[in-house]
Amino acid sequence: MFNFHHLRYFWAVAHEENLTRAASLLHVSQSAVSMQIQKLEAELGHALFERRGKQLVLTEAGRIALDHADAIFARGDELESALQGRGKERRVLRVGSLATLSRNFQLGFLRPLFGRDDVEIVVRSGAFAEMLRALEAHLIDVLLANVAPPRDAATPWVAHAIAEQPVSLVGPPMKKRRKSSLKELLEAEPLVLPAAESSIRAGFDALVSRLGVRPRIAAEVDDMAMLRLLARERIGLAVVPTIVVQDELEARVLVEIAPLPQLKETFFAITLARRFPNPLLKVLISSDRDRTSARGG
**pLDDT over threshold 90, residue 164:** no
Residue pair 112/283 in contact (Cβ under 8 Å)? The answer is yes
Q: What's the pLDDT at 289?
A: 47
Model pLDDT, residue 239: 93
Residue 277, pLDDT > 90, answer: no
Per-residue model confidence as pLDDT tens digits over 72-101 = 777 665 555 545 545 455 678 999 998 878
**Whole-number pLDDT of residue 247:** 86
Q: Report the chain's mean pLDDT, rounded to a whole number.
A: 83
The whole-number pLDDT of residue 233 equals 92
- Residue 290: which pLDDT band, with cuts at 50, 70 and 90? very low
The predicted structure's pLDDT at residue 293: 41
Q: Which domains does the chain have, with CATH numbers?
A: 4-83 (1.10.10.10), 91-163+267-293 (3.40.190.10), 165-265 (3.40.190.10)
Burial 172-187 (b: 16+ CB within 10 A, else e): eeeeeeeeeebeebbb
What does the pLDDT read at residue 76? 65
What are φ and ψ of residue 292, in 5° steps? -90, 0
135: phi then psi, degrees, rounded to nearest 5: -65, -45
Tell me the average pLDDT across 224-246: 88
Mean pLDDT (whole number) for 116-142: 88
